[in-house]
Amino acid sequence: MSQARLMDGTALARRIVDEAAKKAADLTERTGTAPCLATVLVGEDPASVTYVRMKQNRCRKAGITSRHVPLPADTTTEQLVGTLRDLSADPAVHGILLQHPMGPHIDERAAFEAIAPEKDVDGVTFASFATMSFGLPGFVSCTPGGIMRLLDEYGVDPAGRRAVVVGRSAILGKPAGMLLLARDATVTYCHSRTADLSAAVREADIVVAAVGRPRLIRGQDIKPGAVVIDAGYNAGNVGDVDFDSAVERASLITPVPGGVGPMTIATLLEQTVDAAARQLGV
Ligand SMILES: Nc1nc2c(c(=O)[nH]1)N[C@@H](CN(C=O)c1ccc(C(=O)N[C@@H](CCC(=O)O)C(=O)O)cc1)CN2
Rounded to an integer, the average pLDDT of 138-167 is: 98
Assigned CATH topology for domain 32-117? Rossmann fold (3.40.50)
Rounded to an integer, the average pLDDT of 81-89 is: 98
Residue 155: pLDDT band (50, 70, 90) is very high
Segment 265-281, tens digit of pLDDT: 999 999 999 999 999 99
DSSP 227: E
CB 271 within 8 A of CB 142: yes
Distant-in-sequence, close-in-space partners of 104: CB < 8 Å, separation ≥ 6: none
Residue 74 alpha carbon to ligand 1 centre in Å: 23
Q: Is residue 178 over pLDDT 80?
A: yes
Residue 128: pLDDT band (50, 70, 90) is very high
Segment 28-80, tens digit of pLDDT: 999 999 999 999 999 999 999 999 999 999 999 999 999 999 999 999 999 99
Q: Does domain 141-260 match CATH 3.40.50.720?
A: yes
Neighbour-count burial of 160, counting CB atoms closer than 10 A to its CB (0-12 exposed, 13-18 middle, 19+ buried): exposed
CB 97 within 8 A of CB 40: yes
Segment 54-63, tens digit of pLDDT: 999 999 999 9
pLDDT cut 70: percent of the chain above it: 100
What is the total residue count of the chain?
282
Output the pLDDT for position 1: 62
Rounded to an integer, the average pLDDT of 17-27 is: 98
CB 193 within 8 A of CB 166: no
Pick from 7, 16, 52, 54 the residue to mutate for probing ligand 1's pocket: most ligand atoms within 8 Å of its CB.
54
Query: Catalytic pick from 120, 122, 221, 274?
Result: 122
Distant-in-sequence, close-in-space partners of 249: CB < 8 Å, separation ≥ 6: 1, 4, 219, 220, 222, 223, 224, 225, 226
State the Cα–Cα distance between residues 120 and 215, nearest whole angstrom. Answer: 32
Output the pLDDT for position 276: 98
ipTM: 0.96
The answer to whether residue 122 is catalytic is yes
Q: Which of 223, 183, 192 shows the shortest CA–CA distance to 210? A: 192
State the Cα–Cα distance between residues 183 and 207, nearest whole angstrom. Answer: 15
Fold matches, 32-117 and 141-260: yes
CB 41 within 8 A of CB 101: no
Rounded to the nearest 5°, which phi and psi values hold at 97?
-120, 120
State the Cα–Cα distance between residues 124 and 97, nearest whole angstrom. Answer: 9
State the Cα–Cα distance between residues 243 and 247, nearest whole angstrom. Answer: 6
Neighbour-count burial of 125, counting CB atoms closer than 10 A to its CB (0-12 exposed, 13-18 middle, 19+ buried): buried
Q: Domain map of the chain by residue range? A: 32-117, 141-260
Pick from 12, 100, 106, 124 the residue to mutate for probing ligand 1's pocket: most ligand atoms within 8 Å of its CB.
100
State the Cα–Cα distance between residues 253 and 244, nearest whole angstrom. Answer: 11
Rounded to an integer, the average pLDDT of 141-153 is: 98
Output the pLDDT for position 2: 82
Query: Catalytic pick from 99, 223, 242, 271?
Result: 99
Binding site per annotation, positions for NADP(+): 167-169
Residue 35 alpha carbon to ligand 1 centre in Å: 21
